[in-house]
Structure 1
């Protein structure tokens, strides 16, 4: 288990703020040991909660070009056929995974291939499960062309709490299955758009593990 690089600055600043707060309490309330102890305990709890958010566990990816892996830890909240209007402009099968603040927030590539399209969209911060969040929230869209020629689309979506999307990819870049390609801070959602004939291997409410859970099988 390691700490993700996106957490280094936040964790350092938070440590300084909490240390200063505890020093201030001790300075102005030297005789009130109860308040000092409560402040220390509260500071430890806050720091550990933020620390666990930036955890980055090492995983083993079982590569299989015929399957689509979950792009993130979370819970399946949408499985439906829908019109994808940004890139495909046709019907696709959509699987959406919601990430709570307690989940690992590393975003992983569902399948190996070439990045054919990538675009960042500034936007709103509706709650991640809102129907319009996938088209109106801050988001990124990535299309990966598999070796078979099939194209899949993965969309990072910021939520009401998550207000910072990070990505580490560009068009024409080759990605491995399960490779980290981004990070979303403090809870959000990922949408995956697949061919309509893809066989779905998960159900609504199922918990997924990024880079390990098989969410679909390609025909």
Structure 2
């Protein structure tokens, strides 16, 4: 299984004591530390998903940006969304979930901004406004005008670092890897009103595969 390169310092930090315990002939300690090394390494697993095997060619589909449980799907929660009318889908990632993040909707990255903040439990609504986070804005031109989607990587109580591997000006495909968050977190996706949501709270999402929704005709357009 593919492991994200961000695992290296963490794996080394727990593998070294395991090696010392083995050399000191302390099998129980070595075994326990060995299991911990495996668990930490697996946290950074990076499995291939549908977009890796075949590019997503549907310009209307929005995919889940991460594995986890949908904790909100509907109008943007007060104070959380960008200015204007938006829908919001929030996904909570537990320690057991894959933490590699993916772009829910392909296009050109307009901006990437990081804001310091608190480390509230990521399943709480307030975490979307108060916690440390990185916001990515992506835009795609269409005959009906540009479509814009906002993606936020939000840390939790244990996740204290966000890795974002995209920058303004990048062209990113739907479902492409864009970074990861370390040890428990949340992702918020803000979508225009014309997106028809396909998930509800408690839906189990798979990053790069679960359809969050689809763009429909913009308001006032002919159907």
User: SS of the counterpart of 1:2?
Assistant: coil
- Residue 37 of structure 1 is matched in structure 2 by 27
With 187-196 and 59-68 compared, the bigger mean Cα shift is at: 59-68
Which 5+ residue runs of structure 2 have no aligned equivalent? 217-223
State the Cα deviation string for residues 71-109 of structure 1 (Å, max 9, x = none): 011111111212676884122100000111111111100
Answer whether contact 1:83 1:89 (CA < 8 A) is retained.
no
Equivalent residue for 2:99, pick from 105, 115, 133: 105
Instruction: Establish whether residue 176 from structure 1 lines up as the match of residue 176 from structure 2.
Output: no
User: Which runs of structure 2 are paired with 1:1-219 in the superposition (5 Å)?
Assistant: 1-24=1-24, 26=25, 36-61=26-51, 63=56, 64-82=58-76, 88-148=82-142, 149-219=146-216
State the Cα deviation string for residues 101-150 of structure 1 (Å, max 9, x = none): 11111110011101112100111111101221111111001111023211
d(CA) in 1 for partners of 2:179, 2:78:
22
Answer whether contact 1:140 1:156 (CA < 8 A) is retained.
yes
Larger radius of gyration: 1
d(CA) in 2 for partners of 1:160, 1:22:
33
d(CA) in 2 for partners of 1:199, 1:104:
26
Alignment length (residue pairs): 209
d(CA) in 1 for partners of 2:102, 2:38:
24
User: SS of the counterpart of 1:19?
Assistant: helix
d(CA) in 2 for partners of 1:87, 1:174:
24
Shift of 1:11: 0.9
**TM-score, normalised on structure 2?**
0.88
User: SS of the counterpart of 2:189?
Assistant: strand
